[in-house]
């Protein structure tokens, strides 16, 4: 009986152990998986911080271009993460451009399906600001989507507009307003040149020819502030240079790391006076799990 009891006990223990061992292994795998997941998540955040610091090298440049050596160097440094970098502020910011600018005949004809801005202005007044262009699709010609943006600094050009009043009411002040030109000609849709140069209020002589000259020059590579003024044959203080410049305000970047993807926005913070970049800062970082 004692032998039988011992055998029974051993059998019982083996049954129990048979349940415990797989369960222990499962728990071990669970904790290891979570530790690995945590490490990937934290590494992704660290990579983002490192990329933001790398952007400070852009501040020393006189011009911005999506294929500049500095940006190419950053992409190459993080090639294992398949890093992409794109200008997202060089275009017509339909959140901020005042009604009178949107109503310029050349710009209205270029942008809107009905060639006037009245329906869009009413829509914008009721809806407020958008962070995605999809809401504007019903109003815009399909071919101009690449020429409009919803991200950018608010310009002192528009400090007296209704939009400025809304921003002041929402944020208590307009401290983020600055004089940085709204559009980098080196990264904009080249088709924007003609409608901007043709603003009726500016009375630029030979606007069509100057727009064509700018487009042809940009085909050869990025352009400086000085050369931009030369190509357009306009004085430095012309109002158009508050719209058209050679620096980018906001960059979007995306990269992956294992089970995670990071989508972020980096902004150039200008020095007083607007055309010189003081430093770059992270505006937004969205971490998502893709696997």
Higher pLDDT, 170 or 272: 272
Asked if residue 85 is part of any domain, the answer here is no
Do 117 and 156 lie in one domain? The reply is yes
pLDDT, tens digit, 9 for 90 and up, residues 74-94 = 999 999 999 999 999 999 999
Predicted pLDDT of residue 13: 46
Asked if residue 262 is part of any domain, the answer here is yes
**What are the C-alpha distances in Å from 230 to residues 22, 129, 214, 225, 227?**
76, 36, 10, 9, 5
Residue span of the structural domain in which 47 resides: 2-59+251-289
Range with lowest mean pLDDT among 85-89, 120-124, 269-273: 269-273
Q: Indicate the pLDDT class of residue 150, thresholds 50, 70 and 90.
A: very high
How large is the average pLDDT for residues 247-274?
92
251-261 as b/e: b if 16+ CB within 10 A = bbbebbbbebb
Do 172 and 239 lie in one domain? The reply is yes
pLDDT over 90 (residue 52): yes
pLDDT over 60 (residue 49): yes
φ/ψ of 245, rounded to 5, equals: -140, -155
Asked if residue 114 is part of any domain, the answer here is yes
pLDDT, tens digit, 9 for 90 and up, residues 1-35 = 444 455 444 444 444 455 555 556 655 655 556 77
Do 104 and 191 lie in one domain? The reply is yes
Q: How far apart are CA 184 and CA 201, in angstroms?
A: 22
Predicted pLDDT of residue 55: 94
Helix (H) or strand (E) holding 85: strand 84-87
How far does the chain reach from its first CA to its final CA, in angstroms? 57
Q: How far apart are CA 181 and CA 242, in angstroms?
A: 5
How large is the average pLDDT for residues 47-66?
94
Calculate the CA dihedral of residues 184, 151, 142, 209 and round it to 10 degrees: -20
Do 17 and 134 lie in one domain? The reply is no
217-239 as b/e: b if 16+ CB within 10 A = bbeeebbebeebbebbebeeeee
How large is the average pLDDT for residues 232-249?
94
pLDDT, tens digit, 9 for 90 and up, residues 187-212 = 999 999 999 999 999 999 999 999 99
Higher pLDDT, 170 or 91: 91
Q: Indicate the pLDDT class of residue 176, thresholds 50, 70 and 90.
A: low
Q: How far apart are CA 192 and CA 107, in angstroms?
A: 9
Q: Which pair of tokens denotes residue 250?
A: 């906001």
Higher pLDDT, 161 or 253: 253
Mean pLDDT (the chain, rounded):
86
Predicted pLDDT of residue 31: 53
Predicted pLDDT of residue 212: 97
Q: How far apart are CA 265 and CA 86, in angstroms?
A: 10
Share of the chain above pLDDT 70, in %: 81
Q: How far apart are CA 4 and CA 171, in angstroms?
A: 82
pLDDT over 90 (residue 104): yes
Q: Are strands 244-245 and 183-184 parallel, antiparallel or unpaired?
A: parallel
Do 237 and 281 lie in one domain? The reply is no
Do 262 and 274 lie in one domain? The reply is yes
Predicted pLDDT of residue 3: 44
How large is the average pLDDT for residues 48-58?
95
Higher pLDDT, 231 or 8: 231
Do 36 and 143 lie in one domain? The reply is no
**Structural domain count, the chain:** 2
Predicted pLDDT of residue 7: 46
Asked if residue 164 is part of any domain, the answer here is yes
């Amino acid at each position: 009986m004692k032998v039988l009891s011992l055998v029974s006990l051993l059998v019982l223990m083996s049954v129990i152990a048979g349940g415990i061992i797989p369960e222990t292994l499962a728990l071990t795998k669970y904790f290891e998986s979570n530790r690995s997941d945590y490490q990937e998540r934290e590494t992704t955040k660290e990579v983002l911080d490192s990329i933001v610091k790398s952007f400070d090298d852009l501040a020393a440049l006189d011009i911005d271009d999506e294929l500049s050596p500095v940006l190419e160097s950053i992409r190459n440094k993080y090639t294992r993460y398949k890093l992409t970098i794109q200008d997202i502020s060089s275009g017509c910011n339909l959140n901020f451009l005042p009604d009178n600018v949107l109503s310029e005949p050349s710009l209205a004809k270029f942008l809107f399906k009905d060639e006037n801005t009245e329906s869009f202005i009413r829509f914008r007044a009721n809806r407020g600001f958008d962070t995605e262009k999809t809401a504007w699709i019903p109003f815009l010609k399909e071919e101009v989507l690449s020429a409009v943006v919803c991200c950018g600094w608010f310009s002192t050009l528009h400090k007296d507009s209704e939009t400025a009043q809304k921003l002041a009411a929402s944020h208590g002040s307009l401290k983020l307003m600055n004089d940085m030109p709204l559009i980098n000609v080196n990264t904009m849709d080249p088709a924007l040149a003609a409608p901007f140069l043709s603003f009726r209020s500016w009375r630029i002589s030979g606007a069509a020819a100057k727009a064509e000259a700018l487009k042809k020059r940009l085909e050869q590579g990025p352009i400086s502030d000085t050369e931009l003024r030369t190509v357009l044959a306009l004085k430095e203080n012309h109002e158009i240079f508050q719209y058209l410049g050679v620096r980018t305000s906001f960059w979007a970047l995306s990269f992956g790391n294992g089970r995670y993807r990071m989508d972020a926005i980096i902004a150039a913070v200008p020095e007083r006076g607007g055309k010189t970049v003081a430093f770059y800062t992270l505006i937004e970082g969205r971490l998502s799990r893709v696997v």
